[in-house]
Amino acid sequence: MPNIQLPHKHGQMIEKQIDHIPENSYFQAASDIFKLLSDNNRLQIFWLLCHCEECVINISAIMEMSSPAVSHHLKTLKAGKLITSRRDGKEVYYKAADTNQSRLLHHIIEELVEITCPIP
């Protein structure tokens, strides 16, 4: 970052930290991930898929939502690379992606809402 002259001096030595602020693109990437999980139903679907692989019809039944609504949430999560899918005949199964981001988000969700995995 360029040499910034702050208008107010509060004695907190923030000037030393300015050079270490990550680029905006890093914060944008994090913001995009949080947007993916900004819907409580999508958040619950993601949490569920962290624990099992499941098809749209069963997720719909669990969530008490229509299949098109669930499919919309799955499409959003998949576009964000938080879940993956595989086809077996006519059926498509979804599960959480095997990535550090997905595992970290799963952990964060459980910590924030004080729930635990049914199976460690």
Selection from 55, 46, 60 nearest residue 96 by Cα: 46
pTM above 0.75, yes or no: yes
pLDDT of residue 21: 83
For residues 23-49, average pLDDT: 91
Selection from 65, 63, 84, 87 nearest residue 74 by Cα: 84
Read off the pLDDT of residues 63-114 as tens digits, 9 standing for 90 and up.
Answer: 999 999 999 999 999 999 999 999 999 999 999 999 999 999 999 888 888 7
- Local structure of residue 80 (DSSP, 8 states): T
- Show contacts of 73-78: CB within 8 Å, 24+ apart: 73/39, 73/41, 73/42, 73/45, 74/45, 76/36, 76/42, 77/36, 77/42, 77/45, 77/46, 77/49
